[in-house]
Amino acid sequence: MFIANIYSAWIGILLGCLIGAVEGLFFHKEDWLGGYISWQRRILRLGHISFFGLGLINLAFVFTARALEIEKEVYTPSILFIIGIFGMPILCYLSAIKSAFRHLFFIPTLSIIIGIADFLLKIITR
């Protein structure tokens, strides 16, 4: 299962770079997407950076579980972290198009929170 987290992490980091490069072509325009503090522009920045942050969380998860030799015990956090790494940026970009999608942010957010809590519980109780 960990191979999926490793692939997810590196795919997420690559997407963060590619999307950041495309968005960077327009960031110099002060009025792009309604200006620097507009909803669309802020939520695109969140989507872009979430690829990196959640990619690093996936990598940290894999290496921590391997170092503690608990790979077989952490299937649920593995799945939840994969949901988070793709769910968060997808919802960010969908929210930039239609703000009603913001009501679904609890899905990737809870996925990451529950994944971390479950992972910590398994570490503490081993």
Q: Is the distance from CB of 104 to CB of 83 less than 8 angstroms?
A: no
SS3 35: coil
Share of the chain above pLDDT 70, in %: 99
Confidence of residue 28 (pLDDT cuts 50, 70, 90): confident
pLDDT value at 27 more than 80: no
**Nearest-angstrom CA–CA distance, 117 and 97:** 32
pLDDT value at 36 more than 80: no
**Nearest-angstrom CA–CA distance, 88 and 98:** 15
pTM here is: 0.90
The average pLDDT across 36-60 equals 92
Of 9, 122, 112, the closest CA to residue 71 belongs to 122
